[in-house]
C-alpha cells in the first residue's frame, strides 16, 4: 500500500538471522516489481549477535533464552552469529547494499576478514533452517532496538 501512495526508489530495512520480516515472498515480490532497490541494516541486530550468552546485559535480559539458543546453534556449527548474519545479507538476491555499523577501524578490519559462508552449501541451508525455529520465538522487542 505504501508503494501505491509514495513511489519509492530505495528502501532501507533491517535484516539479520533473527529478523527476516521484510523478506517474506509477498513483500519482496512487490518491492522488486516496483523497481525499489533494497539496502539492509541491523545485520548484527545492533550488536546483540556479538554478545556472549553469559554476558547478556540487563537491557536484553528479556531476550536471554533466544540469544542463548541462537548462540548454541552457532557454536554447534562452529560459526559466529555475526559472520553468519553478514553472509546471509551479502548473498541475498534481493539485497543491493549492506550497511554495517562499527565502533572502530579495528572492528571493521576484523569484519572484512571474516569468511563468507556460501548460501548454496548444505551447511548454510541446515544452519538457516535451525534458525527458523528460533525466529518464531523472538520477542518483538528484540527486533526493535528502540525498545531496549
Reduced 3-state DSSP string for 58-110: HHHHHHHHHHHHHHHHHHHCCCCHHHHHHHHHHHCCCCCEECCCCCCHHHHHH
pLDDT tens digits along 48-90: 999 987 889 999 999 999 999 999 988 888 888 999 899 989 9
| Helix orientation angle between 122-136 and 64-76, rounded to the nearest 10 degrees | 170
**In sequence order, what are the beta bridge partners of 40?**
13, 98
Helix/strand number for the chain, H first, E second:
6, 3
109 contacts 21 by C-beta, under 8 angstroms: no
Q: What's the confidence (pLDDT) of residue 4?
A: 75
Q: What's the confidence (pLDDT) of residue 130?
A: 84
pLDDT tens digits along 95-141: 999 999 999 999 999 999 998 878 776 766 777 788 898 999 999 99
Q: Is pLDDT above 90 for 24? A: no
Q: What's the confidence (pLDDT) of residue 1?
A: 65
Tell me the C-alpha distance between 24 and 142, whole Å: 19
pLDDT tens digits along 85-103: 999 899 888 899 999 999 9
The pTM for the full model equals 0.86
Straight-line distance from the first to the last Cα atom of the chain, in angstroms, rounded to the nearest whole number = 29
Question: What letter does residue 55 receive in the DSSP assignment?
Answer: G
Amino acid at each position: 500500500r505504501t508503494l501505491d501512495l509514495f513511489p519509492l526508489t530505495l528502501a532501507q530495512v533491517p535484516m539479520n538471522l533473527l529478523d527476516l520480516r521484510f523478506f517474506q515472498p509477498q513483500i519482496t515480490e512487490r518491492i522488486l516489481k516496483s523497481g525499489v532497490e533494497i539496502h539492509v541494516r541491523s545485520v548484527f541486530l545492533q550488536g546483540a549477535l556479538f554478545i556472549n550468552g553469559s554476558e547478556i546485559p540487563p537491557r536484553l535480559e528479556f531476550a536471554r533464552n533466544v540469544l542463548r539458543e541462537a548462540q548454541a546453534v552457532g557454536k554447534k556449527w562452529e560459526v559466529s552469529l555475526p559472520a553468519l548474519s553478514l553472509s546471509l545479507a551479502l548473498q541475498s538476491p534481493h539485497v543491493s547494499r549492506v550497511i554495517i555499523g562499527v565502533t572502530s577501524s579495528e572492528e571493521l578490519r576484523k569484519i572484512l576478514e571474516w569468511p563468507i559462508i556460501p548460501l548454496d552449501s548444505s551447511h548454510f541451508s541446515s544452519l538457516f533452517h535451525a534458525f527458523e525455529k528460533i525466529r518464531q520465538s523472538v520477542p518483538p522487542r528484540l527486533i526493535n532496538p528502540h525498545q531496549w
